[in-house]
Amino acid sequence: MDTEGHPVVGATVIISGTTTGVSTDTEGRYNISAPVNGKFLVSCLGYDDVVVDIAKRSVVDITLTESTAALDEVTVVAYGTKRKQDLVGSVSSVKKDIISNAQTASISSALEGSVAGLQIISSSGQPGDDASIVIRGTGSMSASNSALIVVDGVPYNGSISDINPSDIESISVSKDAVSNSLYGSRAAGGVVMITTKSGKGGKFNVQFTGTWGMSQRAYKDYDMATDPGEFYRLTWYGMRNTYWAAGNSLEDSAAGASANLLDELGNYNAFIIPDGEYLVTPDGALNANARLRYDDTFADAMFKSSFRQEYNVSASGGNDKTNYYMSIGYLDNDSYIVGSSYNRLTARVNVDSQVKKWLRVGTNIGYAKTTKLGVNDSNGKASNPFEVARSWAPIFPVHAYDAEGNVKLDSAGNPIYDAGTGQTDGTSERPVATNQNVVANLNEDIRKSEHNN
């Protein structure tokens, strides 16, 4: 029996020093004739070997302890399982703890940095979006270079993000042609073999996990001029030096920079100044009478701290003939970029039964319902939040303002967005990306997609 008192089926009991032995039956029993002062050598896959003295006993009860080391040496391959030392080819295994502890919406994101030679390429970064899994670089100019996903021995054509990481027992990444031979040309880019959890013989087990957290940018950008007054002064110095380099006197260059500063910036003035005065005086200082008109930057409007919550409940168990595993999971992952989120509801049932000695029947059923919110894809720089946050000056407002610094409202009472074409009083045309506003896209042009898999 094992340490929990359950029978161990198929254990080998050998009389020490001989080749005489038997195997335990379905109830963990055995019958063998042995010397009264002999010893039994007992072994079974998944358990530590044990030597027991017979000591003149007619009934010898033996307890086996599970061996995690022996289990770690078994690797899932395309055509079954093999001991690690017998495996030929390049296969990397990822333990379930790495996947479950990653706290990501997608398995592909959890694999980043866990396997040598494996690249995770994401085009959008949207929560829940599938990333391309590329093993050892590009192998074809025309065919797909992505790895084939195999779940429980069956090629998987759905979204890998639909698989709940909490349901995964192990992941094996095959990098060469040994395991790929079973799947043909589909596996030209390698194979990622995912094994989901299954039940184990023993008492009924229920497990619940809940995680909560905050999502935000992990790394800040390099130091930039985020203060409007500082930006105006730096721009003034650049203009003055340009005029000076063209042969003008230093005094004339300074006066010209003060006179032409706002024209150079599309007349965007984040300050209110007295009529007839310069925003930046000829000595390079910000006007002492300047009063801030608006402080409404794109960087502040696009990024936020968001909440993430995930819940998983599973039940497993079995006996000497049938094992089962069932789970339900829920994930609500709000992005740190406004207008972007991912919601997933999953369910899984795995049942395995030994109907006859020669027949084993199993079923693996998985279901996922996902909802994604995000903006429409665009290749334009002005539609990229990170590009706008890094390259747009802090003087360009998100919304339109009147001369006194009040946000303009439409007929329905909603704030009007500044599209760079004169919506803000006194402005002419924004020097970058006219007739566009990325915050308006993030808040108003939202794409919602729902999938059942």
Query: For 329, which DSSP code?
Result: E
pLDDT of 86 above 50 = no
pLDDT, position 380: 60
Distance in angstroms (rounded) separating the CA atoms of residues 280 and 227: 14
Nearest CA to 335 among 346, 324, 343?
343
Query: For 66, which DSSP code?
Result: B
Q: What is the pLDDT of residues 408-420, one digit of tens each?
A: 999 999 999 999 9
pLDDT, position 139: 62
Which residue ranges does the chain devote to CATH 2.170.130.10? 74-196
Percent of the chain with pLDDT over 90: 32
Single pTM value for the model: 0.70
DSSP letter for each residue of 67-94:
-HHHHHTEEEETTEEEEGGG--S-EEEE
**Yes or no: domain 1-72 corresponds to CATH 3.30.360.10:** no
Task: Return the HEC string of 272-293.
Answer: ECCCCCCCECCCCCECCCCEEC
Which of 29-38, 115-124, 273-282 has the lowest average pLDDT? 115-124
Which residue ranges does the chain devote to CATH 2.60.40.1120? 1-72
pLDDT, position 70: 45
Q: What angle is formed at CA 164 by the lines to CA 162 and CA 166, rounded to 5 degrees?
A: 170
Task: Return the higher-pLDDT residue of 111 and 196.
Answer: 196
Q: What is the pLDDT of residues 391-443, one digit of tens each?
A: 889 999 999 999 999 999 999 999 999 999 999 999 988 998 888 888 988 88
- What is the domain class of 74-196 according to CATH? mainly beta
Phi-psi region of 136 (alpha: psi -120 to 50; beta: other; left: phi over 0): left
Q: What angle is formed at CA 68 by the lines to CA 191 and CA 353, rounded to 5 degrees?
A: 70
Q: What is the pLDDT of residues 69-79, one digit of tens each?
A: 544 444 555 54
pLDDT, position 79: 47
Nearest CA to 150 among 101, 97, 79?
79
- Nearest 10 degrees: Cα torsion 27, 33, 36, 39: -60
Instruction: Count the alpha carbons within 13 Å of 300 in the hemisphere toward its beta carbon.
Output: 12
Average pLDDT over residues 318-331: 91
Average pLDDT over residues 194-221: 84
Where is mean pLDDT largest: 52-61, 113-122, 177-186, 243-252?
243-252
Classify residue 280 by burial, with Cβ atoms within 10 Å: 0-12, 13-18, 19+: buried
Chain mean pLDDT for the chain: 84
pLDDT, position 299: 85
Q: Read off the pLDDT band of 147 (50, 70, 90).
A: confident
Average pLDDT over residues 42-71: 80
